[in-house]
Amino acid sequence: MATKKLIYTLLISALPFLAKAQLGYNFAQYDFGFSGAANNAYTDAETVPTTYAAHLNFTYNQTPFVNYIAEAQFGQLKGGDVVNTLSGRYFKNNYKALTFRAQLQAGELYDFSRNQFYNGLKNIYVSAGVGVVYNNMQEINRTSLYIEDFTAEGRDNSSEVFIPLKLGYELKLFNAYNEPNVKIDFGYQLNVDLGDQLDGIRAGSAKDVYSQFVIGFKFAVGGYTSYRKQIHY
Amino acid sequence: MNKIHIYIVLFLLIISSGCKPDPALVPANLRDEALLGKWLLKSVNIITQVDTNTPTQMNYNTFTDKDFFEFKASNAAMYSSTLIGKAYEGYYSANADLTPNPLVFKSGNFSATFYIESVTPTELVIYQTTSNTLAGVTTSVTNYYTYKH
């Protein structure tokens, strides 16, 4: 009987060893950020110059490596040449866009804590979502100077749904408590328009697309919680 | 580690496939395969009609090998005239949806509009018409240009 009591007492005493204590790998669940983008629009116009855009975003971090991003874009898309292309197609689109993306970083998928090389790769991410772009043509030409009747139809103002796909690297900067409180984002985003009016021209067989090289900053704004494994190296 | 590699490769494939403009193809109805080739001007027949009077005709057939139209693929074209003293490189359009069937040649600021009267494998006849009314008298002049391969 005494032996039984002793065993129970030891087992109960050992229970605290099974409990998982707060590890202290904290991160903010909410980030606010801004970024700049260099745009190229691949449309029905024959030349593809580079234009620019500014982005504002709000991120909900489910974990440090699984993120949900709501973003507003304000920028310009441009393409074509009235004189130097046969079609004469030309557009300048001062657009606005709203996107929602889910983002998965490599750090969520493997343990990087014991390998410096993997640790460097933990911030690589892929991202996809849905967006809507509001097109507003400031300048538009749909008619060839050179071939009579070679013209296209289209709309000066339109809104279209698109699929944003992004590949990038989110460099995390840590504060004194090893919490990632500033993030620098380098990414390439392809926005696949489900319509054909990014250029205000309805022609050809393919839908319009615009790509973006993005550099941005994100700042932790609160909602601190802890993660199951080490975030910093 | 393999999962992220697969995602990245898939993304790169998608991204690389989407980055090209849609080719600006000239609509097929603006081309006429029967026109392709070099056509030498052989004669010009000018018909003048004043009101309802009997039309008068004049015919010219002293042209050189520098009087020609050449139509190439993708609507490229060349127009040469000894009367103008110049050859022009540009583009043509023959809108098959319109009647009569126009033939428009453009090269920079130079533009000429004709209408196709007939086209066979060996002969192309095009024309231009002008009409003018002065003091109630209408004068119409139609020039027929006959080209042969």
Sort A102 into a burial class: Cβ within 10 Å, 0-12 / 13-18 / 19+.
middle
Q: What is the pLDDT of residues A101-148, one digit of tens each?
A: 999 999 898 877 777 887 888 999 999 999 999 999 999 999 998 898
Neighbouring residues of A25: CB distance < 8 A, sequence distance ≥ 6:
A178, A226, A227, A228, A229, A230, A231
CB B138 within 8 A of CB B132: yes
Position B7 in a domain? no
What residues 23-62 of chain B have any CB closer than 8 A to a CB of chain A? 23-27, 30
| Chain segment B45-82, per-residue pLDDT in tens | 999 999 888 899 999 999 999 999 999 988 999 999 99
Query: A42 contacts in B (CB within 8 Å)?
Result: 18-22
Contact list, A208 vs chain B (CB under 8 Å): 22
Distance in Å, alpha carbon of A106 to nearest chain B alpha carbon: 6
Question: Do the domain assignments include residue B129?
Answer: yes
CB pairs < 8 Å spanning A and B: 95
Is B19 in Cβ contact with A209 (below 8 Å)?
yes
Q: Is the pLDDT of residue A157 over 60?
A: yes
Q: Report if pTM > 0.90.
A: no
**Min Cα–Cα distance to chain B from A147, Å:** 6
The structural domains of chain A, with segments of one domain joined by +, span: 24-226
- Looking at domain A24-226, does it have CATH number 2.40.160.20? yes
Whether residue B71 lies inside any domain: the answer is yes
Nearest CA distance, B82 vs chain A (angstrom) = 23
Q: What is the tally of structural domains in chain B?
A: 1
Instruction: Give the mean pLDDT of A84-98.
Output: 95
Q: How confident is the model at residue A45 (pLDDT cuts 50, 70, 90)?
A: very high
Residue whose C-alpha is closest to residue A201's, from A95, A97, A90, A86: A90
Say if residue A20's pLDDT is above 50. no
CATH classification at residue B102: 2.40.128
Specify if B90 maps to a domain: yes
Expressed as residue numbers, the domain containing B48 is 23-148
The residues in B 88-117 lying below 8 A from A, measured between CB atoms, are 90-93, 95, 102, 104, 106, 113
Q: Which residues of A touch B (CB under 8 A)?
A: 40, 42-48, 79, 85-87, 89, 104, 106, 109-110, 118, 121, 124, 126, 145-150, 165, 167, 188, 190, 192, 203-206, 208-209, 211
Find, among A142, A67, A133, the residue nearest to A97 by Cα: A133
